[in-house]
């Protein structure tokens, strides 16, 4: 199960880093999204952020949860954020989310890939690995 995080003002940077290294962080507002993206871009050694735009009623979105939970443990240095499009409407609009799940992959704060649909899990994993920093860095 993904973490139900508080807004950034109540979660310090150290707590964010600790939680992001072992669990998917859920953003329930535009403020959460903006704050977590800001913290993620400042995390040393974390070049890659995967944002999953979802809705609670979306079956395809729920289908992806076990994969995200597995990947967060197996891909150190990658931060996974889930953004509820019904609660973070401006973030969804800003990233032109028209279908869900939509995954936006960021590297060093810049969007480098967008994939739509639960049937893209293999392609998503491939893109994440492609953009991860080399081991030993």
Give the per-residue SS3 of 47-114.
CEEEEEEECCCCHHHHHHHHHHHHHHHHCCCEEEEEEECCCCHHHHHHCCCCCCCEEEEEECCEEEEE
User: Which token pair is 73?
Assistant: 């443990």
* 61 in active site: yes
120 phi and psi, to 5 degrees? -100, 15
Contact call for residues 25 and 51 (beta carbons, < 8 A): no
* Residues catalogued as catalytic: 58, 61
């Amino acid at each position: 199960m993904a973490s139900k995080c508080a807004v950034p003002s109540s979660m310090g940077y150290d707590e964010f880093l600790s939680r992001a290294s072992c669990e998917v962080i859920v953003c329930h507002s535009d403020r959460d999204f903006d704050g977590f993206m800001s913290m993620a871009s400042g995390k040393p050694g974390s070049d890659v952020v995967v944002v999953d735009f979802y809705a609670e009623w979306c079956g395809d979105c729920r289908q992806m949860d076990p994969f995200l939970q597995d990947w967060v443990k197996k891909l150190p240095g990658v931060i996974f954020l889930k953004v509820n499009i019904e609660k973070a409407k401006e973030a969804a609009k800003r990233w032109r989310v028209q279908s869900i799940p939509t995954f936006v992959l960021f590297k060093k704060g810049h969007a480098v890939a967008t994939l739509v649909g639960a049937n893209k899990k293999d392609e998503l994993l491939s893109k994440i690995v492609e953009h991860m920093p080399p081991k030993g860095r």
